[in-house]
Amino acid sequence: MAEMTYLEAIRQALWEEMDQDDRVFLLGEDIGTYGGAFKITQGFLDKFGEDRVIDTPLAESGFVGAAIGAALVGMRPVVEMQFADFISCAFDQIVNMAAKHHYRLGEPVPMVIRAPYGGRLHAGPFHSQCPEAWFIHSPGLKVVAPATPYDAKGLLKASIRDLNPVIYCEHKYLYRHAKGEVPIDDYVLPLGEADIKREGTDIALITYGAMVQQALEAADEMSQQGIEVEVVDLRTLCPLDTDAILASVKKTGKVLIVHEAPQVCGIGAEIAGVIAQEAFHYLDAPVTRLAAPHTPVPFSPPLEDFYLPNATKIAAKLKDLASY
């Protein structure tokens, strides 16, 4: 085991998969000579060469289309979106080509799109979005959103080895703000399995990505008041681990769903629907959601702080649920 940042865990996963499988290659904007906008691929060009670390034009639809073609002939491309916000430029390629190809022709499309997403870095409305719900809604795609370095490495390696197109959502704030122990040896984590980051008996707090840190902080605060919160880290958003969600709901009877993306039509609505349909009689309070408001992400630091969920806001919702 070695302690490393979330960024380094992603970097190691890419390096190891490329080192042991010649079919894996990278493409994206500024990932070669420059080493990537966040320096995740720094040094990759020297190690693996320009045939496997490909600097592309600023044309997301074009290089995602190229990745789909490469996947169809047996390669395992990993596309880097410089920011997840730009993924909308390749929306047609992703949801109409990559997502539907196996359904139409029975052929696998083993590719990964890395999508650096999320706020808390004061980057404004075009560099801070959380687009995961767009792709959860599109059959044929898997969507992953790790919260820790351990999960980030194991889930990225699993995504690269998967036969389906995977949208790998990596939160930019976590790159250098999340550290943890990561195995040095090769390992993968199964897609579609949630993880209980904290055991509890009173309230189930369901979340993912950077909100896991905030959730754990709020849960620790509630524990000091005698309220034990169970933190469920979804890790994979599609397929969704409904078994883990329902088990935690049945155990606690109260639920708070937290995500950074806007609340309207976010994954929290789907989770709430599943709970209402499958575990209604176990509930001791209404299913509660905490998410961003239905506006673009503000650029102003004070406004962004007001906009985003955080540990203080989570704790306030938990107090309300506990007293219901």
Contact status, residue 88 vs residue 132, Cβ threshold 8 Å: no
Q: Are residues 178 and 219 in the same domain?
A: no
- Would you tell me how many other CB atoms lie within 10 Å of the CB of residue 194? 20
Please tell me whether residues 173 and 230 are part of one structural domain.
no
Rounded CA-CA distance 94/81 in Å is 13
Instruction: Give the CATH number, domain containing residue 20.
Output: 3.40.50.970
Cα 246 → chain centroid? 21
Q: For the CA atoms of the chain, what is the radius of gyration?
A: 19
Share of the chain above pLDDT 70, in %: 100
Among 148, 182, 216, give the residue marking a domain's end. 182
What is the pLDDT, as a whole number, of residue 138? 97
- Give per-residue pLDDT as tens, 4-62: 999 999 999 999 999 999 999 999 999 999 999 999 999 999 999 999 999 999 999 99
Domain of 284, in residue numbers: 195-322
Which of 137, 160, 182 marks a domain boundary? Answer: 182
How far apart are alpha carbons 188 and 156 in whole angstroms? 8
Same domain for 23 and 161, yes or no, is: yes
| 45 plus 160 within the same structural domain | yes
Q: What pLDDT digit, counting tens, does each position of 255-289 carry?
A: 999 999 999 999 999 999 999 999 999 999 999 99
Residues acting as catalytic residues: 127
Which of 120, 154, 182 corresponds to the end of one domain?
182
Q: Are residues 102 and 199 in the same domain?
A: no
Same domain, 147 and 30: yes
Q: Domain holding 219: CATH number?
A: 3.40.50.920
Q: How are strands ordered across the β-sheet holding 166-171?
A: 53-55, 24-28, 76-80, 112-117, 166-171, 142-144, 236-238
